[in-house]
A and B are shown apart, each in its own frame.
Chain A
Amino acid sequence: MAIESVPAPLARRGLRNRLKAGDWIFTTLVSATAALVVLIVLGLFYELISRALPSIRKFGLPFLWETQWNPVRETFGAGTFIVGTLITSVVALVLATVLAVLVALFLVEIAPPWLSRPLSYLVELLAAIPSVVYGLWGVFVMGVFIRDYFGPVVVDTLGWIPFFDGTPLITGIFSACLILTIMILPTIMAVSRDVIAAVPNSQREGIMALGATRWEAIRIAILPYARSGVMGGAILGLARAVGETLAVTLVIGNKVAIPSTIFDPAYTMASVIANQFTEVENDMHRSALIEIALVLLVITFVINVVARLLVWRVTRGQRVLVQE
């Protein structure tokens, strides 16, 4: 990529101050790399929009809810994939957030340092394991366990609830939810832990001095104080779940249909791209898949912006905003 051709308006201030040639080059180069970041993000949107244009023109807004996906007849709608993404990531978000916040509270508020440090590191290591390894494990270990043991138990005990019947298989929406829960757990846990640890001790002392138990201190003083930061962490986890590709592709079963039970195979936006893009039937098929990527990009972009704003609000000084 041609770095030299990037104009460097950002360098102007530095220029005025120091006119030496070395400094000018330095400032220009550094500004160019920064400008490159802007170009990459803009380029990403431009590239996807322009390549998705045929599909956008042909199917319009109904693309987002139409469930027809027929490469041969060239009729495309992303409805099933959006539903699949929504179900898996929201379920994973809820499960992982509950677990992650409890773990974070245990690490910060309950466990002594000799226990909390290694434990916290172990949970964070989960984030270092590649997606494809999760997928492999999800198919050959977790999936088998779900089919043979966990799934039947769930059906036996909860089968009377709508959507909880069905036949447990190795792959399916249930497996995808579980694997996503494990994968986003470390993200949410780490942010929650840092945010909870940042709650000033004076808050803990204040509530404990009134006779609160540990749990009451957490419920009444600590969690409300850390709330928006924890939400930011959860939303970052959501962004990760929405964009997660290979692990989900391996365990979700890959079927173009809206699931009717929790064990049915389905598709997410990311997994349909991963699965079909290298074997597209025609140009419209490719364009439709790129439009799905565009939708995915917009969704994760919005989620990320919201999450960053929430986390920024907490970390930018200890002044916590209070709303009426």
Chain B
Amino acid sequence: MPDTHVESGTAAASAIGVHIVRTEEEAAASAAPAQRVAIRAENVEAWYGPKLAVAGVNMEIRANSVTALIGPSGCGKSTLIRTFNRMHEFAPAARVGGAVFLDGENIYERGIDPARVRQRVGMVFQKPNPFPTMSIAENVAAGLRFLGVRSKSEINDRVERALKVSALWEEVKNDLKKPGMALSGGQQQRLCIARAIAVEPEVVLMDEPCSALDPIATLKIEDLMRELAVQYTIVVVTHNMQQAARVSDRTAFMLAGEDHVGRLVEYRSTEELFTRPQDKRTEDYITGRFG
């Protein structure tokens, strides 16, 4: 990689061996002011039946950037990300309070169909979940039928483009008719990413997308996230601080208190969060003092 420099971190960052690597352009881009806001959460709370899991989250997610959610397990980061595309309601008896604005529009407003929201806010899950009865190409094209893409050539076009963007094309271009399950775990996850971006969403949510993958496959997905940020808005949940530091522009740290309710503790640019945390709890977490 040309034009890279390693910022020697502060005590906090080097304590966990985080080396923040940035190209000059990326550093400039993340510093650019007045970026469009893709998602704005207002006082979001999430419930599982009578149990409050996440409370009082206010945050803005900038378009065309990678935002990471970190925190110890059970802090509600996965729950929070699922409120951004109304997947949280999928759990039995789950409900959401507050508001989430997608391009200024509250997705929890009466009359808004979650299915319609999810067409704009895609999602990639912890474990790769390709559809086993479909071929690789059919997997990628699965969401296109909901958008009225009918012509064979257009479908093929979009499948190819999505597979290219997700860096899978070279590996599968001769096996498009093979079942998606025949791929390795890392390839399956990239297939799921291709499936998510084939429908051209604005935001792609990734819920610990690398937790089931080996280190090499993880690196590939991380590279991919950086590239996707050019076109899409990426929100990634991770329990891996190094990963957050490597891929994200901004990082949010969440923590569940004694009451087991997850709250947003600190949210700022990744560089600042890892080098000059403002909150004592953030510093404790990133220096490995708990969690």
Interface residue ranges, A against B (CB under 8 Å): 113, 200, 202-213, 216, 220-221, 224-225, 227, 320, 322, 324
Given the known A-B contacts A227-B133, A322-B181, are A212 and B125 also in contact in the complex, defined by CB atoms under 8 Å? no
Point out the residues of chain A lying under 8 angstroms from B123, CB to CB.
205, 209
Q: Would B131 and A209 count as touching, CB distance under 8 A?
A: no
Contact of B195 among A113, A208, A210, A227 (CB under 8 A): A210
19 new A-B contacts at CB < 8 Å, known A206-B131, A208-B90, A322-B132: A200-B129, A202-B125, A202-B127, A203-B129, A205-B90, A205-B125, A206-B130, A206-B192, A206-B195, A210-B119, A210-B142, A210-B196, A216-B146, A221-B131, A224-B131, A225-B132, A225-B133, A322-B133, A322-B182
* CB within 8 Å of A: which B170-185 residues: 177, 179, 181-182
Q: Would B133 and A212 count as touching, CB distance under 8 A?
A: no
Distance from B108 Cβ to chain A, minimum over Cβ atoms (Å): 17
Q: Mark B105-130, 1 if CB is under 8 A from A, else 0.
A: 00000000001111100110101011
Q: Would A208 and B87 count as touching, CB distance under 8 A?
A: yes
Chain B residue nearest to A203 (CB atoms) is: B129
Chain A residue nearest to B180 (CB atoms) is: A322
Contact of A209 among B87, B127, B132 (CB under 8 A): B87
Q: Would B115 and A205 count as touching, CB distance under 8 A?
A: no
Q: Would A210 and B92 count as touching, CB distance under 8 A?
A: no
Cβ of B85 < 8 Å from any Cβ of A? yes
Pairs A-B, 4 closest by C-beta atoms: A211-B119, A210-B143, A202-B129, A209-B123
By DSSP majority rule, is chain A's interface helix, strand, loop, or mixed? helix
Point out the residues of chain A lying under 8 angstroms from B44, CB to CB.
none
Q: Would B85 and A207 count as touching, CB distance under 8 A?
A: no
Point out the residues of chain A lying under 8 angstroms from B130, CB to CB.
206
Cβ of B199 < 8 Å from any Cβ of A? yes
CB-defined A-B contacts under 8 Å, sample of 25: A202-B125, A202-B127, A202-B129, A204-B90, A205-B90, A205-B125, A205-B129, A206-B192, A208-B87, A208-B118, A209-B85, A209-B87, A209-B118, A210-B195, A211-B118, A212-B146, A220-B142, A224-B133, A224-B134, A225-B131, A225-B132, A320-B132, A320-B133, A322-B182, A324-B177
Q: Would B132 and A206 count as touching, CB distance under 8 A?
A: no
Interface residue ranges, B against A (CB under 8 Å): 85, 87, 90, 92, 115-119, 122-123, 125, 127, 129-134, 142-143, 145-146, 177, 179, 181-182, 192, 195-196, 199
Point out the residues of chain A lying under 8 angstroms from B127, CB to CB.
202
Q: Would A206 and B129 count as touching, CB distance under 8 A?
A: yes
Point out the residues of chain B lying under 8 angstroms from A209, CB to CB.
85, 87, 118, 122-123, 125, 196
Q: Would A210 and B118 count as touching, CB distance under 8 A?
A: yes
Q: Which of A205, A208, A211 has the most CB of B within 10 A?
A: A211
Point out the residues of chain B lying under 8 angstroms from A324, CB to CB.
177
- The answer for the CA separation of A221 and B145 in the assembled complex, in Å, is 13
Chain B residue nearest to A211 (CB atoms) is: B119
Distance from A113 Cβ to chain B, minimum over Cβ atoms (Å): 7
Distance from B201 Cβ to chain A, minimum over Cβ atoms (Å): 9
- The answer for the CA separation of A225 and B87 in the assembled complex, in Å, is 21
Q: Would B129 and A211 count as touching, CB distance under 8 A?
A: no
Point out the residues of chain A lying under 8 angstroms from B145, CB to CB.
220
Point out the residues of chain A lying under 8 angstroms from B179, CB to CB.
322
Q: Which of B115, B130, B195 has the most CB of A within 10 A?
A: B115
Chain B residue nearest to A206 (CB atoms) is: B129
Point out the residues of chain B lying under 8 angstroms from A224, CB to CB.
131, 133-134
- The answer for the CA separation of A209 and B199 in the assembled complex, in Å, is 11
Given the known A-B contacts A202-B125, A220-B142, A322-B179, are A207 and B196 also in contact in the complex, defined by CB atoms under 8 Å? no
